[in-house]
Each structure stands twice: as C-alpha cells, then as structure tokens.
C-alpha cells in the first residue's frame, strides 16, 4: 500500500512538473503560431493603422505608423487640423503642443525610454531573450469572463526622474486561442502614478496571413478607458523619412 501511495504521489509530482513545464515560452510559441507564424512576423518592416478613438462620445480619426527601424508617429485629425504625437525619427522624439500647435521636443529621459520601446517592434515577445528580457508564467486569471494565462514580462530598466526602475508588464493570454486580451503595467509618473494602466484587445482579424486585434481600449485598471477601433492595417508601407522629421522652422528657432 505504501508503495502504491508513493507511486501515486510521484505521478502527481510528475504531472505538476509537466504542468509547470508548460512555461511562458510554450504559450508565446502558440501565440505566434496561432497568429500567422514567427517567420511571417519577422518579415514585417512597418505598419500603418487607421483607427478611431472615442473620447467623451466624439470619434477622432487616427493614423498610427510604426517602422522596424524605430520610426513611429501618431497622426490625429481634429477640427480640420493634423496633429502629430509621439513622433520619433530614430533619434529625436517630438509632438505638437495641443495649445500652441508648435512642435516640441521631448526631454532626454523621455526620449531614451521611448527609444527602448522601439526594440519591441512588431511584438515585445519576439526574440525577447536576445533583447535581455525575461518572462514568467504567474498562473491563471479571469479577465472579462475569459480564463487567461498571466505572464510577467520584464524588459530593460527605464529611467524615472533620474532613477532606474524595472519595466514590468503583465500580459493575459486567452487559454483557448493563446492571444493576449489584456496588458497591465504600473504608471510611473504623472497624476496617476502608482496606479495600473490597462489595455484590452479583442476582435482579432487577419491581415495578409497575420492576426491583429481590431478593437482595443486604453485606460486605468478598474477606471475609465478610451475605446479604439482599428479600421485598416497596412503592412510594410512606403513612408517618406521626412514625415518623421522635426519641423525645419522649429529647428531653426532653436539655433
């Protein structure tokens, strides 16, 4: 009887190890496989998304550009004006001031942190080990009624007010389709400092053999959020480098 009990205990222990062996890596591998294959993801050189953000009942059109070489930009159409936000040409980060409509450069700290984020194109989990990131499967958690795998992603430290801090995000992968349906991370600065930001994703659709979420919301966990609807996604678009450049007239004023 003791022998049978020992064997049974050993089997339970073995199963527990097997479950634990279903690490974050396996979940991530399934994610890339289910959304088009890792090789196809690596072939992306850029993306252009047209979208609408709902702000207090008003729909505001957006164009979001992300390039493999680090260039990024969000173009907002509002009241007949085009406003550029989060524009990065590879070295300089700048945005239009909403009040003055003048282009303003971000400070060195914000620029350095933003530059780290460009390593994540087109996905934070792609080649994460080579980037020095770590992942950890925390367990399971229910998000909006769906059972998910909760994975902790730790990236390179960022700088906040001159001090280095861990850059940690929690991704929630649907246990059925292995796609992320939510991301949470601590807000490091501003009036919401210390609270958790939350981005939710749904309505995955195919674009040239790859699957992307076409419905998102961004905000504070358990608080208000802004719905974002993706209308189209264009892969590997041709975009002039000048679109990301800091305006010449502002550069001349700085001299």
**42-101 pLDDT tens trace:** 999 999 999 999 888 889 999 999 999 999 999 999 888 999 999 999 999 999 999 999
Q: What is the pTM of this model?
A: 0.88
- Nearest to residue 31, comparing CAs of 172, 201, 179? 179
Q: Where are the beta strands (DSSP E) in the chain?
A: 46-55, 58-67, 72-78, 81-88, 93-96, 103-105, 134-143, 146-160, 163-174, 180-186, 196-207, 210-220, 225-235
pLDDT (0 to 100) of residue 5? 45
Handedness of CA 208, 213, 215, 218 (dihedral sign): negative
The three-point CA angle 127-28-165 to 5° equals 60
Radius of gyration of the chain (CA): 21
Residue 253: predicted pLDDT: 60
Backbone angles phi, psi at 39, to 5 degrees: -65, -40
Per-residue pLDDT, 3: 46
Beta carbons of 170 and 151 less than 8 angstroms apart: yes
User: What is the helix (H) or strand (E) element at residue 6, kind and residue range?
Assistant: helix 2-21
Residues in the chain, pLDDT under 70: 1-22, 249-255
Q: At 104, list the tokens.
A: 């303003």
Please state, in angstroms and rounded to a whole number, the distance separating the CA atoms of residues 85 and 171: 26
Closest by Cα among 81, 78, 103 to 92: 103
> Which pLDDT belongs to residue 57?
81
C-alpha 163: how far from chain center: 23
């Amino acid at each position: 009887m003791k022998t049978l009990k020992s064997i049974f205990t050993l089997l339970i222990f073995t199963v527990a190890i097997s479950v634990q062996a279903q690490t974050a890596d396996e979940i991530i591998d399934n994610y890339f496989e289910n959304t088009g294959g890792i090789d196809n993801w690596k072939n992306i050189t850029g993306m252009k998304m047209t979208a609408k953000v709902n702000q207090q009942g008003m729909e505001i059109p957006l164009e979001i550009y992300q390039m493999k070489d680090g260039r990024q930009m969000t173009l907002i159409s509002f009241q007949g004006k085009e406003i550029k936000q989060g524009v990065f040409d590879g070295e300089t980060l700048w945005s239009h001031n909403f009040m003055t409509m003048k282009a303003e450069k971000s400070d060195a700290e914000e620029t350095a942190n933003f530059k780290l984020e460009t390593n994540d194109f087109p996905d934070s989990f792609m080649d994460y080990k080579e980037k020095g990131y770590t992942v950890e499967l925390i367990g399971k958690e229910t998000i909006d009624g769906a059972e998910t795998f909760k994975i902790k992603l730790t990236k390179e430290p960022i700088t906040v007010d001159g001090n280095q801090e861990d850059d940690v995000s929690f991704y929630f992968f649907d246990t059925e389709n292995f796609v992320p349906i939510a991301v949470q991370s601590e807000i490091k600065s501003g009036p919401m400092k210390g609270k958790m930001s939350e981005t939710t994703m749904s309505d995955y659709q195919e674009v040239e053999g790859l699957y992307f979420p076409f419905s998102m919301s961004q905000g504070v966990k358990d608080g208000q959020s802004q719905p974002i609807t993706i209308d189209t996604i264009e892969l590997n678009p041709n975009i002039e480098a000048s679109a990301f450049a800091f305006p010449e007239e502002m550069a001349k004023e700085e001299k």
